[in-house]
Amino acid sequence: MKKRIFVTATNTDIGKTYTAKHLLEAFASQGYRVGAMKLIETGVKEFAPDATALLQTLQQLNPAFLSLEVADILPLQYELAAAPYIAAKKEALDLERLDATVVRLELLCDILIIEGAGGLYVPIDEKYMMIDMITHFQAKALLVTHCSLGCINDTLLSQKALQDLEIDFVTAFNCREEDTSFGVVSEPYFQETQKNVLKVTEDIDTICDVLYNL
């Protein structure tokens, strides 16, 4: 089994795809053959924006992906912009299809980045939540969190969920230009209570090293 890293987040629109692209670029710069897949994407109409962005990045970094199409790295897509449980109309998750995609893609890479959908407790079907996919794929997790007010609560809840399932993970803060108050109202807490405060744009090489060695 190749190295698998599952990119998840504290909620939707936190920056999973943005972070996954940074991971791909950083690992590729270290000489690894990189690969990626978007596990499930909802809200897909004319095209799948997240999976398309991942594939475009991959095709610049790994020639083995040049002949692939979006459907090759996006096994499940739905038109309704909602939790998969709703978007799929309660259809049971096709794990065999997901597994087959992972097997095919791992033939092309040394490290596979698997991007989830939404946050950890987004329901996929009546049995599975997104967090269950991390365990299913025996992956290490990168928890992407935000830097706006409320990130302490959101981050701690998601970290506890991962800890309760004994999932190895790294937390990365995706700070945006408007998050000017983070250093005053939230970052001091994390600096005092956690080992590292790693930021996507500033610490991507460190994030990659820690993830690879988990």
Catalytic sites, residue numbers: 38
CB 30 within 8 A of CB 165: no
Phi, psi of 25 (to 5 degrees): -65, -40
Strand ranges of the sheet holding 34-38, from the earlier edge strand across to the other edge: 34-38, 111-115, 3-9, 140-145, 169-173, 198-199
For residue 74, the SS3 value is: coil
CA distance 87 to 111: 30
What HEC string does 7-71 produce? Answer: EEECCCCCCHHHHHHHHHHHHHHCCCCEEEEECEECCCCCCCHHHHHHHHHHHHHCHHHCCCCHH
Q: Give per-residue burial for 68-78: e unless 16+ CB within 10 Å, then b.
A: bebebbbbbbb
